[in-house]
Amino acid sequence: MQSKARIYADPPLHSDQFDRIPDSIVLLILNKVADVRALGRCSAVSKRFNFLVPLVHDIYVKIDRVVTVDGDPSDESLNLSSPKPRNLFSHLLKLVLFTILKPFHHLRNPSSGNKPLLPQLSHHSPAQVLKNFTQIRNLHIELPAGDVGTEDGVLLRWRAEFGSTLQNCVILGGTPIDRKSNLFDQDPFPAAEDSGSIPESFYTNGGLKLRVVWTISSLIAASTRHYLLRPIIKNHPTLTSLVLTDSDEQGTLSMGAEQLREFREKPLAASASANRTQVPASNMKLRYAPYLELPGGIGMQGATLVAIRPSAEGSSAGAAVASSGGGVSNGGGRKEAEAFLNSSFDGPFRAAVKMLLKRRTYLLEMNGF
């Protein structure tokens, strides 16, 4: 009788080598990934990844669009990307700042059985997205657009540092000109006509008023962003660095370890007129140049640098008022303040700051608002 042949599968020669990589090394790789969407996809790969992703230290959250509480993104008055937002700052708390991608709907929380890692919602806030990340140290959030509207061709950049309130703010504004296009046969502002002082026309043609509007608007934008970070800072005591930017690179709010500790320990002074942090009474140093020649073939017309620090008296209740002090200071500020100014921007705009710091300084005062 002929025996039946039997076929046996050969045993695997090698086990999965990836399983031999320690969790600490995998976490280093996931920290390099950082992007919360990509981490969501990683969580769907395996149970091991699903367990490790909530332990990631470095997180980057990019917000694609802004929608209303009702989920209608068509309302221009509530859309940060709208070219002419109406009543923007009075509506900011009505905004839901994040749109979650479908891969996140499949994630499971390893500490809560079969519970989803992220809420089953079509639109929700960064605080909800980050809820189950338990070890965040460095967080970067990017908004879809800048908050301050400007005229076409005008460049506006601001950077602010906060603890429980404003600590430092710098604003750079002007009109960039591409010198490579050869639109000018000669400098529009020859050196002989630039005495280093603000020209009289600056006060009469609305130049000073415009800079005051830039300053107030930037401070409102910064203090509103600061106020909206409350639930994130409260829910993540491990945070040591937090940066909030926008895709237009208009404004940056930053908080370090000491500033985050101060935020948690000191009561937050909210503005009575809006859902934002109160801006304390501050001293402002304004520097102005009719024209600057910057590296890379770029010029800047009406270049203005405004450095803001809280005054010794602290905050005072009342409307925001910018008053020209008329004083002139030829000396520099504190070393740490200058270090903040010099490191606030990159590329040709950093060069612009260095050039403007050599200009004559005009002192202004601003009440808290």
Q: Could you report the per-residue pLDDT of 245-301, keeping only the tens digit for each?
A: 999 999 999 999 999 999 999 988 888 777 899 999 999 999 999 999 998 888 999
Considering only CA atoms, which of 318, 253, 322, 319 is closest in space to residue 284?
322
Neighbouring C-alpha atoms within 13 Å toward the C-beta of 203 = 8
307 CB burial (10 A radius; 0-12, 13-18, 19+): buried
pLDDT for res 116: 46
pLDDT band at 86 (very low <50, low <70, confident <90, very high): very low
Neighbouring C-alpha atoms within 13 Å toward the C-beta of 77 = 7
Check residues 3 and 157 and name the one with the higher pLDDT. Answer: 157
pLDDT for res 250: 94
**Count helices and strands in the chain by DSSP H and E runs:** 10, 12
pLDDT for res 97: 36
pLDDT for res 5: 60
Q: Rounded to whole angstroms, how far apart are CA atoms 39 and 248?
A: 25
User: What are the residues whose beta carbons fall under 8 Å from the beta carbon of 139, sequence distance 6 or more?
Assistant: 58, 59, 60, 61, 130, 232, 236, 239, 241, 242, 243
pLDDT band at 38 (very low <50, low <70, confident <90, very high): very high
pLDDT for res 3: 58
Considering only CA atoms, which of 125, 146, 272 is closest in space to residue 221?
146
62-71, 144-153, 183-192, 328-337 — which is least confidently predicted?
183-192
> What is the residue whose two structure tokens read 């709907």?
105
Check residues 314 and 36 and name the one with the higher pLDDT. Answer: 36
Considering only CA atoms, which of 226, 206, 349 is closest in space to residue 280?
226
Cα dihedral sign for 146, 66, 81, 141? positive
Check residues 172 and 335 and name the one with the higher pLDDT. Answer: 172
Cα dihedral sign for 136, 142, 143, 144? negative
Check residues 179 and 199 and name the one with the higher pLDDT. Answer: 199
Check residues 338 and 319 and name the one with the higher pLDDT. Answer: 338
Q: Could you report the per-residue pLDDT of 191-248, keeping only the tens digit for each?
A: 435 666 777 778 778 888 999 999 999 999 999 999 999 999 999 999 999 999 999 9
At residue 43, the 3 state secondary structure works out as helix
Looking at residue 44, the DSSP 8-state letter turns out to be T
Mean model confidence pLDDT for the chain: 76
pLDDT band at 84 (very low <50, low <70, confident <90, very high): very low
pLDDT for res 120: 38
Q: Rank 118-122, 150-154, 308-312 by mean pLDDT and report only the highest.
A: 308-312
